[in-house]
């Protein structure tokens, strides 16, 4: 039986046959999982100390920020620390998706040049890696909540759809920035400043309810703001998130995912030339 023949045609911007494309992507789901695990092993996250660092890093960072809040404001409470920790954990899911996705295409240069596969697998793998890093922090959050003595409520189950929206947003961000980095390599150097700015502009070091109305209206341009606010209301305060914040989060996630995927799929046949 002869080997399959791969035909390379001149690049033309436009979407590939989506039905065949998504079917090919789904058939490689095992490869995505194994590829993500291999990347984690390369970063030594399969060891005990590596897994501990997944939790210790955001925990230590939240402790530093909490100390700064106490020093600046002169007072704080345990609920504030639970809010800071829980939102920081979710923020790390999004920021790790960005930092992993930005170089997912350029780092996979040899794979792209030598193998035919849906290129979108690479930024998806970056999000899967970010999820592997995120899930242990949920256990730590439950422990912190028990130690602090905050009660559990059924409204906390709203965290499930909020997390689903966060994963969709993470996919959109990773896909978009991975494609942009193919054309503008300096975006990888600019990314740490972007994530730090999003950290300070999002309701992590403070709660959304503490902002004045005129300032909060500006946060409509921050895709993370309504998502993290809903996450805090559900997980920390045991409240039903505001419907407006949930719809805004979903709109941001869908918009970024659809636009980023269209841009990626319409340009991915040119990646081999750009790399």
- What 260-263 contacts at long range (C-beta under 8 Å, 24+ apart), as own/partner pairs, is 260/172, 260/173, 260/175, 260/176, 260/179, 261/120, 261/172, 261/175, 262/15, 263/176, 263/179
Read off the pLDDT of residues 204-239 as tens digits, 9 standing for 90 and up. 888 877 777 767 776 778 899 999 999 999 998 889
The two tokens of residue 95 are 């920021």
More confident residue, 158 or 54: 158
What mean pLDDT do residues 11-20 have? 70
* Of the ranges 135-149, 171-185, 199-213, the best mean pLDDT one: 171-185
Q: Is 16 helix (H, G, I), strand (E, B) or coil?
A: coil
In the predicted model, what is the mean pLDDT of the chain? 82
The b/e string for 1-15 (b: 16+ C-beta within 10 A; e otherwise) is eeeeeeeeeeeeeee
Percentage of the residues of the chain whose pLDDT score is greater than 70 = 83
Are 139 and 228 in contact by the 8 Å Cβ rule? The answer is no
Cα separation, 221 vs 84, whole angstroms: 22
Percent of the chain with pLDDT over 90: 24
In angstroms, the CA 228 to CA 242 distance is: 12
pLDDT at 137: 84
Whole-number pLDDT of residue 11: 47
Higher pLDDT: 56 or 247? It is: 247
- Candidate ranges 18-27, 98-107, 239-248, 260-269; pick with highest mean pLDDT: 239-248
Q: DSSP assignment of 75-105, as one string? A: ---HHHHHHHHHHHHHHHHHHHHHHHHHTHH
The domain segmentation of the chain, as residue ranges, is 18-274
Average pLDDT over residues 254-261: 94
Instruction: With a cut of 60, say whether residue 4 has pLDDT above it.
Output: no
């Amino acid at each position: 039986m002869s080997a399959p023949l791969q035909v390379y045609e001149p690049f033309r911007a436009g979407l590939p046959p989506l039905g065949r494309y998504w079917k090919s992507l789904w058939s490689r789901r095992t490869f995505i999982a194994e590829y993500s695990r291999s990347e984690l092993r390369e970063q030594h996250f399969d060891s005990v100390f590596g897994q501990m660092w997944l939790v210790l890093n955001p925990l230590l960072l939240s402790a530093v920020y909490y100390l700064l809040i106490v020093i600046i404001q002169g007072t704080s409470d345990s609920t504030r620390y639970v809010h800071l920790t829980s939102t920081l954990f979710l923020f790390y899911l999004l920021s790790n998706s960005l930092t992993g996705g930005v170089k997912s295409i350029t780092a996979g240069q040899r794979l792209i040049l030598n193998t035919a596969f849906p290129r979108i697998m690479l930024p998806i793998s970056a999000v899967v890696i970010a999820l592997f890093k995120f899930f242990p922090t949920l256990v730590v959050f439950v422990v912190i909540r028990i130690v602090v003595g905050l009660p559990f409520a059924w409204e906390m189950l709203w965290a499930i759809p909020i997390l689903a929206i966060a994963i969709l947003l993470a996919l959109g961000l990773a896909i978009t920035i991975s494609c942009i980095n193919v054309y503008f390599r300096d975006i990888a150097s600019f990314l740490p400043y972007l994530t730090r700015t999003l950290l300070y502009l999002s309701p992590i070091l403070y709660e959304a309810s503490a902002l004045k109305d005129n300032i909060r209206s500006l946060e409509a341009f921050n895709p993370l703001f309504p998502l993290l606010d809903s996450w805090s209301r559900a997980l920390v305060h045991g409240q039903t998130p505001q419907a407006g914040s949930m719809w805004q989060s979903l709109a941001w996630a869908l918009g970024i995912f659809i636009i980023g995927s269209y841009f990626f799929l319409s340009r991915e046949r040119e990646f081999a030339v750009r790399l």
